Structure 1
Amino acid sequence: MRTVTIVGASLSGLYAARELRAQGYDGCLVIVGDEPHHPYDRPPLSKDFLTGRADETQLALTDTEETTELGAEWILGIRARALDARGRTVLLDDGRTVSTDGVVIATGASARRLPGDTLAGVHTLRTLDDARSLREQLTRGRCRVVVIGGGFIGAETASSCSSLGHSVTVVEAAPLPLVPQLGAEMAAVCAALHHRGGVDLVTGTGVTGLRGTTTVTGVDLTDGRTLPADIVIVGIGTTPNTAWLVGSALALHDGVLCDDGCATALPQVVAVGDVAFVGGTRAEHWTSATQQPRAAVTNLLAGRTVETATAVPYFWSDQYGARIQFAGRRTDGDTVRITEGELSDGAPAEGGFLARYERDGRMTAVLAVDRPRPFMRARRELARGAGEERVQSAPR
């Protein structure tokens, strides 16, 4: 390969660039990104950046020295429009074409939106520009904030807004937030964190619309209530950025369909990160975005799948001063028991807890709140049980 093009100047795109050079690729490297920014870390956007504890320089994932060492051509602020049927040319929105021998798709995902969310005061939180806009409004004075969606982004954002002194309500359509990930019993424990943090949690109720003419004034719920709001944050999931691939030879199914090694139907095209549907799932987590590129690049350079990217799923979340960590594959019917620590009034007691999910006497997943060391031991145990020789810890 003389030229490799990475489409997506994202976390996974940067890790793919690093892997290409680490694995000996010394050809031309082109990195295309639709945002004008060099790669930055997204997890702090809903936490330290939103609350002002971190600035933009602390989000940067590269510095001048590394940028020089990578020797890449950066094309930023330009969106990829199409990939030709053979995967040999990337067409850009400004009319340019990039001829290439290999492609790494790392275009990530976009925040889902609600009808009417063009009103002033309505925000999503996915990009640095999103976070800039929301942070600026949060500094104007005490606000009534409604967060739509009780997932990780919604919970983290609600926690940050509450810590800044705003009045916060979280609306979740499901009976409890995070049930798909944690199961009902542990989801109830994490829901208690909202109450402990002084945030109102409205569950089992959807949103019918937003009120306001030019600026949002309220959120209409399916139960007939209207929540007054100065700021609305929409956190209802994401959509993989694959529109530019329609008409290519790639299979699209909730992302770019890949095998277990991130390889697509085209031997010279791989996909990584939030846009990649790998091994039967699309994992939108920091660790997946940093672990997948190693296998993807190995397979891209080999022209076939010689390494897999499957690993024990892992994610974490920081909410209301608590660190939540989860690893494994929970399924309905698993039993869950707290093996370390305890609960207090349905919420984690001081010192947190560790809970194990089990089926037929075998651990399938583990959840910890403020128990990092026991969690890592249990995570390694899960990895051994899955036949993996090692699990890399996220450098956080």
Structure 2
Amino acid sequence: MPAMVIVGAGECGARAAAELRAGGWDGRIELIGAERHLPYERPPLSKAALLADHDPVPLSAYDAAALRDLDIIHHTGVEVTDLDREQREVVLAGGERIEYERVLLATGATPRMLPMTAGFHRAHTLRTHDDALRLRTQLRSATRVTVIGGGFIGLELAAAARSLGCEVTLLEVADRLLGRAVPAEVAALVHARHVEAGVSVRCGVSLTEITETSSGTTVTLGDSTTVDGDILVIGIGAVPETTLAEKTGLHVDNGITVDHRLATSDPRIFAAGDCSSFPHPLYEGRRIRLEAWRNAQDQAVVAAHNMIGGDRTYDAVPWFWSDQYDVSLQVAGLPAEAATEVVRSRPDGVHIRYGIDGTGRLVSAAAVGTGNSVAKDIRLAEMAIAKRVVADPAALADPTVNFKHFLR
């Protein structure tokens, strides 16, 4: 009997495998991963894994016993080299072929590289558990760390390095941190917290040369100044992993293109997680791609349901989070969609910036606070965004107005 085959054994792939079984699929499920680990969660890699006093073990989403109980065949350290769509077979690196009923591509993304650092031994990116182990080791022997990239991953890596006592210089080509991911004022608060922690943050720079010696790295900037470091950490985003999809002739456009059901241009092949580009109904069906933990989890559920005959639409509100030092940053929706912004500041120091589009509809919320202080606000905002609530700006700005007022 043909199998349900999942290419990519990260959180998205493993969740989809479990959902297939929960949904009633009683045939074979083959989960194929290139890494030699059980499926594990990636968010701790830029946080707890780097700060741990001992070599961290991957935080497994599903341990070996759980996979056995679900009767999921898990291949580790195995590359998928081709999809034979005519024969409906997945081709493995060793030549083995697996006949499939449906395929889910959960291939994720790969860190964006700087060509000028090719072959460097002291330049790091972070995507896998093994990457985190290598970086963790070097951070403990480094005094000076240069971080390139002022997005979520670059900032988390800078925070980790500074928390370990390193001198940190963060370089960002754009004129502010976090680009279009959060409103400028929220980015400014994050910027200030890094400066307070002792990070030298330099925005609006250009990189003209990066060199490496046996003892460190040197970044030469457009103004001819240089930044020396013992190691270099590159956090400038990620590229969707579409190699297999392209090789087999599937449509690709900033990710593997899927429809509202997460099916690709071949109805027997689905894609989910960081690798997929999908039309979002909240944004007039415009195609977007998200690199986010929850998106990968939620898309896994929808894809699995539809692989066994369902017809669910993926319409979850985008949600992002980042912990840096004692600061929690959470974002619901897409701030770039906002025509105007409304600020709500609470006495406990929480700063929330709501985004409203041209019709008055709430389309985003970004909040900064300590600990879990922003979680409830963002969760309520998610609900309002999903319901397409038209919100009164004055009431949004008033911290004495219970947000549940907008959900009635």
**Structure 1 and Structure 2 fold alike (TM over 0.5):** yes
How much does 1:357 deviate? 1.5
Could you say if the C-alpha distance between residues 87 and 278 of structure 1 is closer, same or farther in structure 2, counting changes exceeding 3 Å? farther
Alignment match of 1:373 (pick from 368, 371, 376): 376
The one-letter code of the counterpart of 1:367 is: A
Alignment match of 1:320 (pick from 316, 319, 325): 325
Report if aligned partners of 1:4, 1:101 keep a CA contact under 8 Å in 2: yes
Distance in 1, matches of 2:30 and 2:314, equals 24
Report if aligned partners of 1:119, 1:215 keep a CA contact under 8 Å in 2: no
Report if aligned partners of 1:50, 1:131 keep a CA contact under 8 Å in 2: yes
What are the Cα deviations for residues 195-250 of structure 1, in whole angstroms up to 9, with x where unaligned?
A: 12211111111222321245542112222211001010011111111112323131
How much does 1:86 deviate? 3.7
Question: Is the partner of 1:65 in helix, strand or coil?
Answer: helix
The sequence identity of aligned pairs, in percent, is: 37
Question: Is the partner of 1:182 in helix, strand or coil?
Answer: coil
Alignment of 1:204-219 (within 5 A): 204-214=204-214, 216-219=216-219
Could you say if the C-alpha distance between residues 118 and 87 of structure 1 is closer, same or farther in structure 2, counting changes exceeding 3 Å? farther
Larger mean CA deviation between 320-329 and 83-92 belongs to 83-92
Equivalent residue number for residue 352 of structure 2: 354
Distance in 2, matches of 1:24 and 1:312, equals 27
Aligned length: 377
Q: Does 1:382 align with 2:380?
A: no
Could you say if the C-alpha distance between residues 339 and 114 of structure 1 is closer, same or farther in structure 2, counting changes exceeding 3 Å? same
Question: Is the partner of 1:161 in helix, strand or coil?
Answer: helix
What are the Cα deviations for residues 90-141 of structure 1, in whole angstroms up to 9, with x where unaligned?
A: 122222222212101001011111122422211001111110000011122x
How much does 1:191 deviate? 1.8
Alignment match of 2:340 (pick from 335, 343, 349): 335
Question: Is the partner of 1:19 in helix, strand or coil?
Answer: helix
Equivalent residue number for residue 345 of structure 1: none
Equivalent residue number for residue 136 of structure 2: 135
Distance in 2, matches of 1:22 and 1:378, equals 30
Could you say if the C-alpha distance between residues 216 and 243 of structure 1 is closer, same or farther in structure 2, counting changes exceeding 3 Å? farther
Could you say if the C-alpha distance between residues 9 and 87 of structure 1 is closer, same or farther in structure 2, counting changes exceeding 3 Å? farther
Could you say if the C-alpha distance between residues 54 and 354 of structure 1 is closer, same or farther in structure 2, counting changes exceeding 3 Å? farther
The one-letter code of the counterpart of 1:362 is: R
Alignment of 1:289-308 (within 5 A): 289-302=296-309, 306-308=311-313
Alignment of 1:23-34 (within 5 A): 23-34=23-34
The one-letter code of the counterpart of 2:152 is: F
Distance in 1, matches of 2:381 and 2:251, equals 36
Could you say if the C-alpha distance between residues 88 and 156 of structure 1 is closer, same or farther in structure 2, counting changes exceeding 3 Å? same
Alignment of 1:141-220 (within 5 A): 142-214=142-214, 216-220=216-220
Report if aligned partners of 1:274, 1:282 keep a CA contact under 8 Å in 2: yes
Could you say if the C-alpha distance between residues 326 and 333 of structure 1 is closer, same or farther in structure 2, counting changes exceeding 3 Å? closer
How much does 1:316 deviate? 0.4
The one-letter code of the counterpart of 2:345 is: E
Distance in 2, matches of 1:123 and 1:231, equals 8
Larger mean CA deviation between 113-122 and 101-110 belongs to 113-122
Distance in 1, matches of 2:8 and 2:75, equals 10
Question: Is the partner of 2:18 in helix, strand or coil?
Answer: helix
Distance in 1, matches of 2:131 and 2:87, equals 32
How much does 1:386 deviate? 6.7
The CA RMSD measured in Å over matched residues stands at 2.0
How much does 1:377 deviate? 2.0
What are the Cα deviations for residues 281-322 of structure 1, in whole angstroms up to 9, with x where unaligned?
A: 1111001000012221222111xx711112111110011210
The one-letter code of the counterpart of 2:387 is: R
Could you say if the C-alpha distance between residues 331 and 212 of structure 1 is closer, same or farther in structure 2, counting changes exceeding 3 Å? closer
Question: Is the partner of 2:16 in helix, strand or coil?
Answer: helix
How much does 1:252 deviate? 1.1
Distance in 2, matches of 1:87 and 1:285, equals 34
Distance in 1, matches of 2:319 and 2:130, equals 27
Distance in 1, matches of 2:58 and 2:2, equals 34
Report if aligned partners of 1:182, 1:330 keep a CA contact under 8 Å in 2: yes
Report if aligned partners of 2:361, 2:389 keep a CA contact under 8 Å in 1: no
The answer for unaligned runs of 5 or more in structure 1 is 343-349, 388-396
The one-letter code of the counterpart of 1:131 is: A
Equivalent residue number for residue 282 of structure 2: none
How much does 1:264 deviate? 0.9
Equivalent residue number for residue 396 of structure 2: none
Larger mean CA deviation between 187-196 and 15-24 belongs to 187-196
Report if aligned partners of 1:312, 1:386 keep a CA contact under 8 Å in 2: no
Distance in 2, matches of 1:386 and 1:63, equals 41
Question: Is the partner of 2:223 in helix, strand or coil?
Answer: coil
Report if aligned partners of 1:13, 1:106 keep a CA contact under 8 Å in 2: yes
Larger mean CA deviation between 242-251 and 279-288 belongs to 242-251
Equivalent residue number for residue 44 of structure 2: 44
